Amino acid sequence: MGKLILIDGNAILHRAFHALPPLTTKRGEPINAVYGLISMLLRVIQDLKPTHLAVAFDEKEPTFRHKEFAGYQAQRPAMADELSGQFEKAKRVIEAFGIPIYSKGGFEGDDVIGTLAKEAKEDVVIVTGDRDILQLVGGRVKVYLPIAGLSSAKLMGEEEVKEKLGIAPKQVADYKALVGDPSDNYPGVAGIGPKTAVSLLEKYLNLDGIYTHLEEISPSVGEKLMKGKDEAKLSLRLATIVKDVPLKFDIEACGRWDIDSQAVLNLFSKFGFKTLTERVKKVGKSLDDEKQMPLL
């Protein structure tokens, strides 16, 4: 069957940038986010033993969500220059490792990941710091979620998601539709908080179920739901990860591991990644011992 690892490039770079202390190249260029991403990549290869790998990124252009709701992500501060300058460096290292990169204009990296996970026949593990992606968990799809910065991570299946959030993975978008999301700046239903949202979903399963049985709900909550119905429906569309992004998925390329060893070593030397160089060799040796393709 195999195991496909899908790395959420944007989420891991953001998390690494804020979790790790400042780190610069010899030229004084910030490089800590790249270091964190590659460190996480090596941990994933060593711990999860993938047969296939791919990385997804956002595109810079607005998505369909921005077009549907002008306020989408409007309150987010601009990305720091110290982080934005690291994306191309990260992509260069990923390409040197021979790992395919996927993105699609008009969609977020989450949507790309959702589509790849749906199309893949392999077991799928998504590596991300974005909890919205927990809605994709189910069946052969799990999420590898970093905790405590990047120092550790937890593999999340359906039971782990339910234990952490109090709802099933398939209810995550409905939950967001009720409570909203300040980070993405969509409204949800005014006056509906997390406890009420979880209680409603426990009984009625999803947003449609809640509105179908509105007459059974207490008048105070029912009135809020009625007033916020349009906002709830909009928020559900914004919160739901798309699984049919039009892109060409080449699973064979994800398993080729066509690594340019010299390019990796050159980039690591340029970026000052001495400890990562040793880690790559160590991980590669362990893979070789297990009769998998070595890294370097």
Q: What average pLDDT is seen over the chain?
A: 93
**pLDDT digits 0-9 by tens, 257-295:** 788 989 999 999 999 999 998 888 777 666 655 545 556
* Between 101 and 258, residue with greater pLDDT: 101
The rounded distance, in Å, linking the Cα atoms of 258 and 109 is 23
On the question of pLDDT at 189 being above 70, the answer is yes
Mean pLDDT of the 205-229 span: 97
Amino acid letter, residue 31 = I
* Between 256 and 157, residue with greater pLDDT: 157
Exposure on the CB side of residue 40, measured as CA atoms within 13 A: 38
**pLDDT digits 0-9 by tens, 7-32:** 999 999 999 999 999 999 999 999 99
Amino acid letter, residue 105 = G
Mean pLDDT of the 188-195 span: 97
Amino acid letter, residue 46 = Q
| pLDDT value, residue 147 | 84
| pLDDT value, residue 291 | 46
The fold for domain 169-239 equals DNA polymerase; domain 1 (1.10.150)
Strand partners, 54: 6
Closest by CA to 267, choosing from 132, 93, 106, 143, is 93
Mean pLDDT of the 101-125 span: 98
Residues 177, 233 contacting (CB under 8 angstroms): yes
Predicted TM-score (pTM) of the model is 0.94
| pLDDT value, residue 258 | 84
On the question of pLDDT at 157 being above 80, the answer is yes
On the question of pLDDT at 199 being above 90, the answer is yes
| pLDDT value, residue 98 | 94
**pLDDT digits 0-9 by tens, 65-75:** 999 999 999 98
On the question of pLDDT at 214 being above 50, the answer is yes
On the question of pLDDT at 120 being above 80, the answer is yes
> Read out DSSP for 183-252?
TTTB---TT--HHHHHHHHHHH-SHHHHHHTGGGS-HHHHHHHHHTHHHHHHHHHHHSPPS-------HH
Domain locations along the chain: 3-157+242-289, 169-239
| pLDDT value, residue 256 | 87
Q: For domain 3-157+242-289, give its CATH number from 3.40.50.1010, 1.10.645.10, 3.40.190.10, 3.40.50.300.
A: 3.40.50.1010
